[in-house]
Each structure stands twice: as C-alpha cells, then as structure tokens.
Amino acid sequence: MKKIWLVIKREYLTRVKKKSFIFTTLLVPIGFILMSGIQIWLITLDGDSKNILIKDENNLLVEMEKDGRMRVKIPDTESIHYQASQEPIEELLATYKEDGYAGILHLPPMNLQDKNKFNFRVNYRADKPLGPKAGIKIKQKIKQEIRKQRIEAEKMDQQFLKDLEKIRVDFNEKSEAGNVVSSSLSYVLGFGMGFLMYMIIMIYGTMVMKGIMEEKTSRIVEVMLSSLRPFQLMIGKIIGIGAVGLTQLSIIGIFVLALNMIFGLLASGYIELPVGEAETMAQDIDMDMVQGQVQAAFETISNINIPLLIFAFLFYFLGGYLIYAALFAAVGSAIDDDSESQILVLPITIPIIISFFIMIVVVDQPDSSLAFWSSMFPLSSPLIMPARMPFGVPAWQLILSMALLVGGFIFTTWVAAKIYRTGILMYGKKISIKELGKWLFYKN
C-alpha cells in the first residue's frame, strides 16, 4: 500500500505543478466569463440604424391622425425607424433608395372579412434583410390588428376574449408520499449529472491512457517496475490522475460560480429593455403561472434527498472513472503510439456513447425497463443511475446497482491488470483485440 501511495503522490504532484494544469484550470473560467460577456454584448447590440418605409393598403399598421399625418403603430427601436407613405408602390420602389430608406414594407390588399382566410402575405423589398427580430414584431402586430378587426366585425367582447387567454392549467405531479415533483427540474438535474459524468469519464480516462503511453515510450516505466509491481503502478496512476481531475473540477466549479455571480451583478445594470418591449413582455408573462412553476421547483428541491444525491453522484463518479480508467490504462500499456489507439479505444468508448444516448431516453422515462437494466449494468450505471436519482429510485435498486458497480470495478481491474503486466514492457509489436484476449490467460 505504501508503494501505491508513493505512485499516487507522484502522479498528483507532478501533474498539478505543471504549467499546463494551471493554464487549463484558469482558462476554463476565463473562457466562460468571456463567452458570457460576448453574449450580453451581442444582445445589447442594435446594429446600424435604418429607416423603413411602410406602404399599408389595409390600414393595419398605420392610422390617420387628426392633423392629417399618418402614424405608424409599430414602435421605433434604436436601430429601426418606420415611416408611412400613401404613394403608389411602383413609385416607392423606384425612389426609396434615393430618399434614404433601407427598404419598403408592403402590405398588399387583403380580404380581412373572409372568415375562412387565415393566411396573409406581407412583402419586404430591400437589398438587405430586415432581420428576424424586427420581422417577428411586424408579424405579431399585423396578427393583432387582423384579430382586432374580426372581433369588432363579429361584435364580440374583446375584454372577454382577452380574459380567456389567461386560462391556465397547473400540472402538479405528486409521488405516493404526497411530495410535489417538477418533471422539468428533475429532467435538468438528471441530464446535467449524466452529461457531466460522460465528460469526466472521457477526459480523464483518456488522460490515464496518454500518461501510461508517455512513460512507456520514454522507458521510464522500466525503472519504476524495478521497485514495484505492475498492478501497484497501474492503480497508483489511476487514482493519482483521478485526484487531479477532482481537484481541477473543484477549482473550475468554484471559479465559475464566483465569476458568474460577480458578472451577473455587474451586467444587470447594463442590460435594459426598451420601454415598449418591457411593457409588452410584462403583459405576455402570466405571473401566476411563473409563480406556480417556481413554487413547484422549490418544493421539488426540498423533497429531493440532496445529501443522498451528492453521495450517489460521487460514488458513481468514482466507480465509473475507476472502471473506464482501468480499461484505458490497459489500452495505454499495449500500444506505442496514438495511431494504434483508435482501434483499441473504440470498444471502450462505444459503451459510454450508448449509455449517453440511453440517458437521454431515461430522463424522460426514468421507471422504464430500459432505465432499470441500464442502471444495473456496471458499464452504463455511472451515467444512468445519477440521471434517475432526481426522480426517485427505490433503495433496493440503488443498493443493488452500487454492489454491481463495485463488482464490475473488481472484475475490470483484474482484466486490466492482466493486460497491463504483459503489455507495459512489450515494444514494437502491433497489438490487436484478439492478442489482448490471449494475454488474459498468461500465467506470468
């Protein structure tokens, strides 16, 4: 055990002290904050200011004021200004560029009184597109005006119809114990945990393989094996690199959370919606529905056993990492260069990829047969069981899955050790999967 600890210590300290470790650990949160800043900057970017001419032959978007001037019902933005015209469309098309307009929004004659007609076409003529944001506003305004006219033609109560739109249905899910469950929140938690597990296994499992390959090709491993057994070296490297991964993830997590909070507070004062947009957004949001969803989310969080969820995540993280890292270590010991690793790594990555796709289905159907069996199989349970946990898993299933994961780790480590002790000192031979199978039965 003392020799294994020395290997763990060497692997951990050697990698943590590298400039590449410090650089990548700091680069992730810095990249995160830069992407957030760019996103906010792009949101607040209005683009070049342009004038749009409106020719409305139905008086949906324009109306005549008392002083004889035409008023556009669409509010201007900082980048787009609208102006109405009564000139024929042919003359406007011939002169709009000379008059300084970027384009013409043309509403041709429409049969608004036809009760069976629900599709209407609007034309925008310009050299450059208007943009999706402005287009959506225009379509919404036209839709509102057509709806308003038809309601008035039918002599219907507009306020009553507006009140009908406030109707909502609260979909509350409760467990047999009466606890409130938010499927959307459980879905996010389950998918997030499973995806994080997938990334961790792929990144740090590959790191184990690369580390063993480097020491094998540089012949350092021959010196190390003169004082300890191959199994001790393999376990020490797996645990040491795993500890590096946990350290890096912890530092990145703390940095990201801190920077996100600080940047959110700083940026909140710089993002403001125009008055018209803010009022429209406030009217469109059903505050009662939002309040109900928030309340259901908080009740779901309070009903989830957070300590058990954290314990299960860490357990499956360690179990999944150890299983796949052992397999990656076996592959790293058997090859001399990266070109050979593709064929041997494929059988290892296939179960991870399949598990990831199964996880996408499982978070939507957490109690299905597929969810149960995939959460029991040791190669898929590190992704599937954490994804099922927020939805509630019977204790016997969780215990059985953990026991099978431990058994899978013991078996996988035994197989990897057999391959490792043979392949680590073998050079210049192209290894196939069939050859690896033969190594399992060597008695050396």
- 429-433: long-range contacts at Cβ-Cβ below 8 A with a sequence spacing of 24 or more? 430/340, 431/334, 431/335, 431/340, 431/344, 432/343, 433/343, 433/344, 433/347
Above 60 in pLDDT, residue 194?
yes
Where does the pLDDT of residue 295 fall: very low under 50, low under 70, confident under 90, or very high at 90 and above? low
Least confident of 46-50, 266-270, 307-311: 266-270
What CA–CA distance (Å, rounded) separates 382 from 323? 10
Where does the pLDDT of residue 279 fall: very low under 50, low under 70, confident under 90, or very high at 90 and above? very low
* Backbone phi, psi, residue 28, to 5°: -60, -55
- Exposure string (b/e) for 241-279, b if CB count within 10 Å is 16 or more? bbbbbbebbebbeebeeeeeeeeeeebeeeeeeeeeeee
How do residues 213-241 score in pLDDT, each as one tens digit? 777 777 776 667 667 777 777 788 788 87
Query: In a 3-state reduction of DSSP, which class is residue 269?
Result: coil
Q: Are 387 and 193 in contact (CB under 8 A)?
A: yes
Above 60 in pLDDT, residue 208?
yes
More confident residue, 74 or 398: 398
What CA–CA distance (Å, rounded) separates 218 from 221? 8
What CA–CA distance (Å, rounded) separates 156 from 148? 10
Ramachandran quadrant class, 49 (left: phi over 0; alpha: psi -120 to 50; beta: rest):
beta
Q: What is the DSSP letter of 283?
A: H
Where does the pLDDT of residue 376 fall: very low under 50, low under 70, confident under 90, or very high at 90 and above? very high
More confident residue, 159 or 178: 159
Q: Are 385 and 312 in contact (CB under 8 A)?
A: yes
Q: What share of the chain is helix, strand, coil (3-state, %, to 5)?
A: 65, 5, 25
Residue position matching structure tokens 């289905």: 361
What CA–CA distance (Å, rounded) separates 207 from 201? 10
> What stretch of H or E contains 358?
helix 338-362
How do residues 44-97 score in pLDDT, each as one tens digit? 655 567 888 888 888 888 887 777 778 888 788 777 888 888 888 888 888 888
Transcribe 69-118 into DSSP letters.
Answer: -EEESSPP-SSEEEEE--S-HHHHHHHTTTTT-SEEEEE----TT-TT--
Where does the pLDDT of residue 283 fall: very low under 50, low under 70, confident under 90, or very high at 90 and above? very low
> Distances in Å between the alpha carbon of 221 and those of 212, 228, 236, 414, 418?
8, 10, 13, 20, 17
> What stretch of H or E contains 195?
helix 183-217
Above 60 in pLDDT, residue 300?
no
Above 80 in pLDDT, residue 429?
no
Above 90 in pLDDT, residue 400?
yes
- Exposure string (b/e) for 368-403, b if CB count within 10 Å is 16 or more? eeebbebbbbbbbbbbbbbbbbbbbbeeeebeebbe
| Number of C-beta neighbours around residue 301 at 10 A | 13
- pLDDT in the model for residue 274: 47
